[in-house]
Amino acid sequence: MRPHKKYLELCLKLAEKGKGYTSPNPLVGAILVKRGSIVGKGWHRKCGEEHAEIMAIKNAGIKARNATLYVNLEPCSHWGRTPPCTEQIIQAGVREVIIGCPDPNPRVSGHIELKSRGLKTKIGILNDECKKINEAYLRYVRTKKPFVIAKAAMSLDGKIATKTGHSKYITGKEARKHVHQLRNDLDAVMVGASTVQKDDPQLTTRLIKGKNPIKIIVDSSLRTSLNAKVVKNEPTQLIIATTAKAPANKIKQFQQKGVKVLTIPALQGKVDIKKLMKELGRLEIQSIMIEGGAELNAAVIKAGIVNKMLFFISPGLIGSGLSALGDLGITKVDKSVKLKKMNHTTVGKDILIEGYL
């Protein structure tokens, strides 16, 4: 079992190279091993390009025959943007396939297909680790809704800004670079109209070398300025979610700039967050990081659409100021929202707490 785990850990490292570029496809790495030596390796680089298994087979050439293929996610067995991997694995003469975790996509039955065609197969090795790297993909396949991360940067006493509204910068540069890396890795970032008005953020990956995410603004009455940085810099990468309260002429102005405006049904006068998630899922947005203020953070938690939370906590104290979360409607401590599978690490001088809801 130990060699299997070692090789699958290598697959996971290869898979990580595709972060930010494979969506709505998963992150996949593959290696071919023959007589104890790696003879081929590959990873899925970009949606629409060859899958990891095929790259590994081509890399191995004739050495793929009678080799063992390791892959962190069950190979596809259907025609999609590319041909089925199972057929090419069989044609290459691979002897055995070791799979990290199953793919819940009902169109994928690679494990069964390979087994029925006479190949030795094992599945479920490093299952938890292989699921974690593709947690966004696995949720999206099951629900057709994005995997949602809510992120906040705060002082030690839970403030995201001073009482005057000043917030730049609570956390250090290392933490901000970490966030920019997450922006690269995920499909989209989401903020509220208030954050755009107060901070005029760029929501880019300027602190690292990476791709900029799709930007989503939740703006019930469409008060976002046409001169906001997110509008001026990359309008075709911007989605504004609004309601029927939005002025028709302003919707048209945004659309003329290339902005996608979604008119979502209202819930208590605000954009219905749950319905917005369904619409974003239809647009094949697989993962979103919410970088909003207290109001949006509270709204998404109350709506029950948050899967994971990231709290960057600086060692500073602010005192009176704006809290990271608005009203959750909680009146008793024992009814508080509690994180599961929580862990923490240091990022520069700051602490990152991560957990699931």
What confidence tens digit (pLDDT) does each residue in 221-261 have?
999 999 999 999 999 999 999 999 999 999 999 999 999 99
Rounded to an integer, what distance in angstroms lies between the CA atom of residue 125 and that of residue 5?
A: 7
Average pLDDT over the chain, rounded to an integer:
94
Q: How far is CA 175 from CA 24, 154, 255, 287, 331, in A?
A: 27, 11, 35, 20, 33
Kindly report which listed range (11-15, 108-112, 190-194, 260-264) carries the lowest average pLDDT score: 108-112
Confidence of residue 169 (pLDDT cuts 50, 70, 90): confident
Q: What is the pTM of this model?
A: 0.92
Confidence of residue 51 (pLDDT cuts 50, 70, 90): very high
pLDDT at 1 over 70: no
Amino acid 48: pLDDT: 87
Condensed to tens digits (0 to 9), the pLDDT of residues 286-344 reads 999 999 888 999 999 999 999 999 999 999 999 998 898 888 989 999 999 999 999 99
Residue with tokens 């819930």: 267
Residue 303's SS3 state is helix
- Rounded mean pLDDT, 13-33: 96
- Rounded mean pLDDT, 131-152: 96
Amino acid present at 240: I
Residue 53 appears among annotated catalytic residues: yes
Q: Which stretches of the chain are DSSP H helices?
A: 2-16, 52-60, 85-91, 110-116, 127-133, 135-143, 173-185, 193-199, 229-233, 248-256, 273-282, 294-303
Amino acid 79: pLDDT: 67
Condensed to tens digits (0 to 9), the pLDDT of residues 74-91 reads 998 876 666 789 999 999
Backbone φ/ψ region at 48: left (φ over 0), alpha (ψ -120 to 50), beta = left
Nearest Cα to 18, choosing from 61, 89, 86, 73?
73
Amino acid 252: pLDDT: 97
Confidence of residue 44 (pLDDT cuts 50, 70, 90): very high
Q: How many CB atoms lie within 10 A of CB 294?
A: 19
- For residue 23, the cross-strand partners are none
Burial 255-281 (b: 16+ CB within 10 A, else e): eeeebbbbbbeebeebbbbebbbebbb
Tokens of 251: 């919707």
Rounded to an integer, what distance in angstroms lies between the CA atom of residue 257 and that of residue 235?
A: 6
Active-site residue (options: 16, 49, 50, 53): 53
Tell me the HSE value of 14 on the side-chain side, using a 13 A CA sphere: 26
Amino acid 221: pLDDT: 97
Amino acid 80: pLDDT: 67
Amino acid 107: pLDDT: 79
Rounded to an integer, what distance in angstroms lies between the CA atom of residue 39 and that of residue 312?
A: 42
Kindly report which listed range (83-87, 99-103, 269-273, 304-308) carries the lowest average pLDDT score: 83-87
Contact criterion met (CB below 8 Å) for 14 and 29 = yes
